[in-house]
Structure 1
Amino acid sequence: MPRIKRKPIMIMGCTSDAGKSLLVTAICRLLANRGIKVAPFKAQNMSNNAAITTQGLEMGRAQYLQAIAAKIEPSIHMNPILLKPSADTFSQVIVNGKVDQAIARLPWLDRKKFLWPVVTKALGSLQDEFEQVVIEGAGSPAEINLRSGDIVNMSVALHCQADVYLVSDIDRGGSFAHLLGTWACLAPAEKKLIKGFVLNKFRGDPALLGDATAWLEEKTGIPTVANIPYYRHQLAEEDSFRLGCQYQKGMLNIALIYYPYASNLDEFDQLLYQQDVNLVPVHQYQDLSLFDALILPGSKNSGASLEALRSSGLDLQIEKFKQTGKMILGICGGLQILGDKILDPLNLEKGDQTGLGLIALQTCIEKHKQTRQRQFNYGGEILKGYEIHHGKTQAQAQVNVFIDRDIGWSQDNVYCTYLHGIFDDRCFYNWFMAQIGGVQNGIDWAAHTDNELDKLADMFSQHGWL
């Protein structure tokens, strides 16, 4: 018996960080648990948190997680365009999983004629394959200055005649003004697609809303269909990280160097959510000597991140930390920064740079980007991860192999690898903890994530509209 094709559901926000990604994730898992063949879609995402498919193609981490929520294999059709900021006014453009340098050179508003066919083809392929597509917008559809180049908000909704739900972050305040103002900025044909308003991240007594939702419906004709509570979870964030944490006595304290263009920070979630570990993002000068370990994460622009370390004086603190003999771990861009040199002959980042010189490695930034999933035998177990980097690194004779000969190196107390996602694997997590005097209590993070997705879907089933 053929399955029923349903109208796409589209989640748009009054602002960035209104909670669109999490709501799409919740809906995907809720519908998948009901036996509906569902897929997520976001035409264009901007984030330095990326994932690699089994085909070696790059896509946004949020859509990758949404695919897992939907219980399907992640595909670049779910996020055909990914923008990765690498300077204040420049982003690398990923189209269908690969870097497109020609598109990146075009002015923002001139890109639509090239990218819109990519968007519609990807969306069409999902509509052909799945019963239900759940679409995520970007930013806000009320950004009038960007409307002519829109390929992610109302252009998509009109193209597929989606049922649109407009979300406001009520924790910020001003939600009813946001909802009314956003609705007022839409064209008549766009307003017809709005099926409901959603209040998200609500804390406190719902009675405090009074008759505000009735007032809003009177003004717009649109009902408020859900009041979603502020929900704490342990799922990967799209492009943010918890700041403000400080060193705590009596805890295992790990410093995470939070330089500009830091990327793929979600891979440290297993550290972030462990009760016996205090992961402290360090983004300005401070004494690092009291920490138990130091991590330099990936970077979308290693040269610019290195410059930021030097301008803040953190470079000297990192060099001083090495003298303590405690572990320093560099991942991808962090690996390059810790080495002797970063050569950039094509000027893809910041030109040639002298690294921190804490491990005898030399990296050349190349045009070709390495993107692939990998797995290794590590300590008698299978260690899985993924590569996503432009640099090709050579090691001097005094450097040892770490994990595998083409993926990582160590020298004294400095360990470096191009392999992302390794903390998701309990065998690596436990090895790392053994080196720094921590508790070896790593868990199966994939199973933990799956359980978190089910809890999220349960919450949405109680407070959502589906």
Structure 2
Amino acid sequence: MSKQDSKRLRLARCVMVLGASSGAGKSWLATALCRHYANQGLKVAPFKAQNMSNNARVVAGLAASDTETGAAEMGTEMGEIGSAQYFQALAARAVPDVRMNPLLLKPEADTRSQAVLLGRASAQLTALPWRERGAVAWPHIAAALDALRAENDVLVIEGAGSPAEINLMPRDIVNMRVARHAGARCLLVADVDRGGAFAHLYGTWALLPKADRALISGFVLNKFRGDAALLAPAPQQLECLTGVPTVATIAMQRQHGLPEEDGVFDDRCAPPGSGHAGAPPLTVAVIAWPRLSNLDEFQPLKNVPGLRLVWARAPAQLQGADWIVLPGSKATASDLAWLRAQGLDAAITAHARAGGRVLGICGGLQMLGAELRDPHGVESGGPGGDSGNSSSVPGLGLLPLATTFAPRKTVRRVCCRFGAVSGPWAALSGVQASGYEIHCGQTAPHPALAARGEMARELMAGMAWQNAAGNVLGVYLHGLFEDPAVLRALFGARARPLDEVFERLAAVVADSFAPGFLQELIQEP
């Protein structure tokens, strides 16, 4: 029975998904559980204390005065959370907000990450040594967790990496400390497709303190291919060693429809039979630079019939591409330097000069311009920062624009309409698109080029421009390919509805777990 319309007499029951390793399938399973429990008529919310990812979404933020206190009052400003928790909230039929991922770490270099606390970039937390961050962040994390527990029937919590990283345990703020605080019943997931899954499960369990072992309610074998009967007698032997049953064996789920959390998509053509018979596929090459961000927004392209998605890190991988896409970047100047070091800049320029389509999104748009200015050291990590960039570097020069980076970040949801678009992108003319902005730079016509009469055509005020020939397009709008109207205009394609994806995930977990087990997880002790 739903508690949504009655007075809540207890805190939400918490189910936590832990991984025996990174990539075990925690995000996938947590998303599926969010929809499973929501389908029971329960009020459900996701939670992940700390996420490290450059894939972020814009969601409801806290009131300005509450970001320091950790209070739960929601404000009108927007904030950032990891994409995984955004999709988990949608699966739970909940409105995503910053409390669902109170700490987001966005890597800017191998040794530096921007800390986003309760949806807002925190210069104070970013400047702290890693070992000192937990003490500052934990009160905010605990307050967000407590607030969500007070408002919901079930919380589905995702851990990070492995809970048995013994070098990290004393400063843990994302795995077993969260489980203890929430009184969570934990599932430990292993990727059986990699091999060594039983050793991963046993080793993780064995390295946990005795009190934390007691929180493990079941083992889950994920990504299994073949006859599950062949696993015997290993699950029984593992239970004899640990006292923990193996409660689910989940078959490998290919093309499940969720965006990837961290990895780059595989490079392959659309499935056989898609597209028009005899017609070569449309090849879209996305530049995969080191600090690529928001790659999850390209997931819909994998589902477009007759489209081949390529992730390019070398000029040879751009050969035969119909489109070249410059995606978002968490370190635009650094990734631009990498682009030049690989020789990709010349390949992109040659493609554009020959009339080929080029699309830049956010950081990609900034690179397409003539100049990137960084007077405050936002991109370079300050004067003498590790990117080695001066306060001004030339862009690719394919759009007569200049970008100036400033400390204040633009974070907002956007719904806007394209103006009259010319050339190869003309199908976007008049199309209304919804998405989000996450960027520090502000882009405008380059003064010196404008004085010579070189102007980009502005298609959305401060948001989108194209060159005179019409084949080079730059936009600040993330989520372009997630908008059904854009997909119809560009490809005549229909996106697979997310609700359909979530329902299928829920059906998979319902069929994979031992009968009644998922309901037992949320019962009172």
Question: TM-score of the superposition, structure 1-length normalised?
Answer: 0.94
How far does residue 169 in structure 1 lie from its aligned partner after superposition?
0.6
Q: Match for 1:258 among 280, 288, 302?
A: 288
Q: Is the 8 A contact 1:343 1:353 kept in 2?
A: yes
Counterpart for residue 504 of structure 2:
455
The code of the aligned residue for 1:235 comes to L
Distance 1:6 1:364 in 2: 46
SS for the counterpart of 2:505 is helix
Q: Deviations over 1:143-170 (max 9, x none)?
A: 0111121100001011111101111111
SS for the counterpart of 2:253 is coil
Q: CA RMSD in A?
A: 1.8
Distance 1:112 1:282 in 2: 37
Q: 1:263 to 1:249 in 2, by over 3 A?
A: farther
Matches within 5 A, 1:113-152: 113-152=135-174
Counterpart for residue 130 of structure 2:
108
Distance 2:267 2:129 in 1: 36
Structure 2 residues not aligned, in runs of 5+:
1-5, 61-76, 271-277, 381-388, 419-428, 519-525
Counterpart for residue 301 of structure 2:
271
Q: Match for 2:404 among 357, 364, 372?
A: 364
Counterpart for residue 315 of structure 1:
345
Worse overlay, 277-286 or 63-72: 277-286
Worse overlay, 244-253 or 29-38: 244-253
Q: Deviations over 1:292-340 (max 9, x none)?
A: 1111000000111111111111111011111220210000000111111
Distance 1:256 1:331 in 2: 11
Distance 1:312 1:167 in 2: 38
How far does residue 49 in structure 1 lie from its aligned partner after superposition?
0.6
Distance 1:9 1:208 in 2: 29
How far does residue 285 in structure 1 lie from its aligned partner after superposition?
2.9
Q: Does 1:443 align with 2:494?
A: yes
Structure 1 residues not aligned, in runs of 5+:
434-439
How far does residue 342 in structure 1 lie from its aligned partner after superposition?
1.1
SS for the counterpart of 1:416 is strand
Q: 1:406 to 1:457 in 2, by over 3 A?
A: same
Q: Does 1:168 align with 2:181?
A: no
Q: Is the 8 A contact 1:362 1:393 kept in 2?
A: yes
Q: Is the 8 A contact 1:427 1:442 kept in 2?
A: no
How far does residue 107 in structure 1 lie from its aligned partner after superposition?
1.5
Distance 1:328 1:168 in 2: 41
Q: 1:382 to 1:414 in 2, by over 3 A?
A: closer
Q: Match for 2:486 among 425, 428, 434?
A: 428
Counterpart for residue 52 of structure 1:
58
How far does residue 348 in structure 1 lie from its aligned partner after superposition?
2.2
Q: 1:305 to 1:95 in 2, by over 3 A?
A: same
Counterpart for residue 338 of structure 1:
368
Q: 1:216 to 1:287 in 2, by over 3 A?
A: closer
Distance 1:6 1:462 in 2: 25
How far does residue 284 in structure 1 lie from its aligned partner after superposition?
2.0
Q: Deviations over 1:199-234 (max 9, x none)?
A: 111111112102001110111111111111111201
Matches within 5 A, 1:66-81: 66-81=88-103
Q: Is the 8 A contact 2:27 2:158 kept in 1?
A: yes
Q: Deviations over 1:358-391 (max 9, x none)?
A: 1111111110000000111345553111100011
Distance 1:112 1:418 in 2: 33
Q: Deviations over 1:37-61 (max 9, x none)?
A: 1110000001111000144211110
Counterpart for residue 207 of structure 2:
185
Q: 1:427 to 1:402 in 2, by over 3 A?
A: farther
Matches within 5 A, 1:382-401: 382-396=432-446, 397=450, 398-401=454-457
Distance 1:422 1:401 in 2: 19
Q: 1:33 to 1:246 in 2, by over 3 A?
A: closer
How far does residue 270 in structure 1 lie from its aligned partner after superposition?
1.6
How far does residue 243 in structure 1 lie from its aligned partner after superposition?
3.5
How far does residue 171 in structure 1 lie from its aligned partner after superposition?
0.7
Q: Match for 2:234 among 212, 224, 240?
A: 212
Counterpart for residue 297 of structure 1:
327
Q: Is the 8 A contact 2:399 2:456 kept in 1?
A: no
Question: TM-score of the superposition, structure 2-length normalised?
Answer: 0.84
The code of the aligned residue for 2:40 comes to R
SS for the counterpart of 2:141 is helix
How far does residue 287 in structure 1 lie from its aligned partner after superposition?
5.9
The code of the aligned residue for 2:373 comes to L
Distance 1:347 1:6 in 2: 44
Q: Is the 8 A contact 2:164 2:208 kept in 1?
A: yes
The code of the aligned residue for 2:260 comes to E
How far does residue 288 in structure 1 lie from its aligned partner after superposition?
2.9
Q: 1:68 to 1:338 in 2, by over 3 A?
A: same
Counterpart for residue 235 of structure 1:
258
SS for the counterpart of 2:95 is coil
The code of the aligned residue for 1:44 comes to Q
* Percent of residue pairs identical: 45
Q: 1:171 to 1:304 in 2, by over 3 A?
A: same
How far does residue 87 in structure 1 lie from its aligned partner after superposition?
0.3
Q: 1:181 to 1:41 in 2, by over 3 A?
A: same
The code of the aligned residue for 1:407 comes to M
How far does residue 5 in structure 1 lie from its aligned partner after superposition?
4.7
Counterpart for residue 45 of structure 2:
39
